[in-house]
Each structure stands twice: as C-alpha cells, then as structure tokens.
Chains A and B, each alone.
Chain A
C-alpha cells in the first residue's frame, strides 16, 4: 500500500514538473516532446484513478495526436517567432496571470477535497440500468444512451472545428489537399513501419470499438487509433491526403452525426422522445451508430491534424 502512495506522489510531482517545463521551454520542438511525455504521464494518472476509458482517450488523443498537432503548429509559427517575441507582455501582466491561475487552481483543488462524502453521483443508477441497452460498460451506456444528446452534439462540434481549420486555407486552394506532399522512400524504415502498422492498428481500433460494449473502450477510442494509422500512412508518403472537396470524405464526415440524428428523430416519431431507443432494437441501433461514429471520428481527427488545404486537389 505504501508503494502506491509513494509512486502516486512521484507521478503527481512529475506531472506538475513537466507541465511547468513545457510552458517555459524555449524550443518548441522540445516543448512538443515534453507535451507527449506529459500525456503519457496523465494516462498513467487516469489508470491510477480507475478511469480506464479516459486513460484510453488520453493515451490516444492527449499524447500522440495532440503532440503531432502542436509540433505542426509550432513549426509553422517559426517564421513568426521573431515578431511574437517582440510582443511579449511585461512581467507584471504575466505575474498577475500566474497568480490568478494559481488561485483558480487552488479553488478547484479545495472544492474537490471538500466534496461531501459520499459525493453526489448518479453512477450507481447508471450502472443499475445497464439492462436498458444490454451493454455492460456503464461509460458507454451513459455516452450512447442516457446522455446520447451530448455525444451527438460533440460530434457536431468536431465538424465545426474541422470547418474552422479548413477556413484557414487560401481562397483559391479551397477544396484542395491538406498538408505537404510527403515522398515515400521505398528503403526507409518509416515506409516499413507505415506498411506494417496500419493494418494492425485498424484491427485494434475495431477491437476497441467492439470491446466498448462491455469493457472500457468505445467508438471514440477506436476512431482515434484508426486516425493515427491513417496519418502515419500519410506522413510516410504511402497515401496522399484526399482533397477536402472529395465527396466520400464529406460523406464519411457526416455519417456519424447524421445517423445519430436519424435515430433521434426516429425515436421522436415513434412516439417516445428524441433519441429514445426502442428497447428491443437498442443494442443493434447503438452498434450501428457506434460504427458510423468510429468512421466519422477517424476521418475528422485525421483531417484536423492534416490541416487546411495547401495544394490544388484533383478537379
């Protein structure tokens, strides 16, 4: 038992230390690597807290994908770093911001430490009602059934974010392909990695989606893994990013939320409520929605990281 406490303390201290270092690091590449390490540490924290589904998300999105995104952003900003440095706010402003942030964090910590014991929660009821969908994982039940509205709107938010990223493209490049053209070197280890890993990754992604019914996992985790594999193939030059005006791409992007909406209105029409699933069909409907969502999440995240259009697409 004491081993756990000591390791927890070290883990916590390390998370704070690396977070601090990432904010003050002077070289953005180093900061991005530090951020990936920070994500790895957070994954361990979530596992220690018993939140395996969140740990899966953190490991997938929080460290790998976001790290790549930050790196890409930092390298684009390199040219502007000179002018940005000149605009840096004075010491007083920065000290004030630091102080306010610390007070905010302290308030949050106090709130968490002084929660009434037992903390008010709907978790036991959510777990008790698992028979409504036939799935044993309470997290999936909450995400897909009890609070399905939130999940659906999340996907819409992702689409809006993607539209925002796309809007950064130059006017005449709209509809083109995102990202630079990566050239594949047939003898390079990267090519081997990008050939062998994606099939395995896709299997693992679908496995995560399937497991999500009864064990930690789900559509989002599965979709994220598949997105990472797609991005790997892109940066190895084995496949080119599709032009963003591509019809199948657009279809894949809306598949998830669209199916959600259709089922939702179906529930309304059949007399119960928006997004009420008829009990007999709950599980197959949910699985169908999850499949569609996995596809959407994979394509959305891949395109988000690929960025706005930079090249002319095929007409």
Chain B
C-alpha cells in the first residue's frame, strides 16, 4: 500500500521521464537546429525538475532535499546560458560539416 509521498514520487518521476523522452524525440525529429534547441531546453528544465521533485519527496532530511534542488537549479542556470550560447553559434553562420 503506497503512501501519498510514494504516489507523488511515481507521478513526478514518470512525468519527468516523459519530458526526457519528448526532448530526445524533438532533438531527433524537429526540422531545424533552433527548434531542436527548444526541445532540448524542455528536457533540461522540466524533465530534470520533475525528477528532482519526485526524489525530494524521498530525501532523508532537509539538507539532502536541498542538495537535490541545488543540482536542478545549477542545471537550470547553466542550461539557460548554454542554450543561448548554442543559439548564437547556430545563428552566426554555424558551419555545416559533413
């Protein structure tokens, strides 16, 4: 018999995994570099965020939960900055190679 926390974890992690799948499918199937970047950021933000949310419900204590959240915040921030960098590279006449 699963507790509320367990049910929450299952739902959150499943949703997160779904967004990772969406990000991957988008990366493979979208027609253009910039649209693929859009898909990537969904996985970065929502995918990881939901997984972390689900895991925080199981964390043993406030400190552990904060550690998980800080990993997500770090990825959120660096992902945003890196997406901007990649977008600029794509816009500024990125070379097509083989």
Contact = CB atoms under 8 A, between A and B. Distances in A.
A27 B81 contact: no
Contacts of B82: 193
B75 to A, nearest CB: 12
Interface in B50-89: 74, 77-78, 80-82, 84-85, 88
A193 B81 contact: yes
Nearest to B73: A200
A196 B80 CA distance: 13
Contacts of B78: 193, 197
Contacts of B88: 188-189
B32 interface: no
Interface residues of A, number: 12
Nearest to B77: A196
A27 B97 CA distance: 7
Nearest to A29: B97
A59 to B, nearest CB: 13
A27 B77 CA distance: 30
A27 B74 CA distance: 32
Contact of A27 (B80, B84, B85, B98): B98
A192 interface: yes
Nearest to A191: B81
A26 interface: yes
A201 to B, nearest CB: 10
Contact of A26 (B77, B80, B81, B98): B98
A184 interface: no
Contacts of A200: 74
Contacts of A27: 97-98
A23 to B, nearest CB: 15
A301 B81 CA distance: 25
A26 B97 CA distance: 9
Interface centre among B77, B81, B98 (most CB of A within 10 A): B81
Nearest to B97: A27
Nearest to A25: B98
A282 interface: no
A189 B81 contact: yes
Contacts of A190: 81, 85
Contacts of A29: 97
15 contacts: A26-B98, A27-B97, A29-B97, A30-B98, A188-B88, A189-B80, A189-B84, A189-B85, A190-B81, A192-B81, A193-B81, A193-B82, A193-B85, A196-B77, A197-B78
Given A30-B98, A189-B88, 10 more contacts: A27-B97, A27-B98, A30-B97, A189-B80, A189-B84, A190-B81, A193-B78, A193-B81, A193-B85, A200-B74
Interface of A: 26-27, 29-30, 188-190, 192-193, 196-197, 200
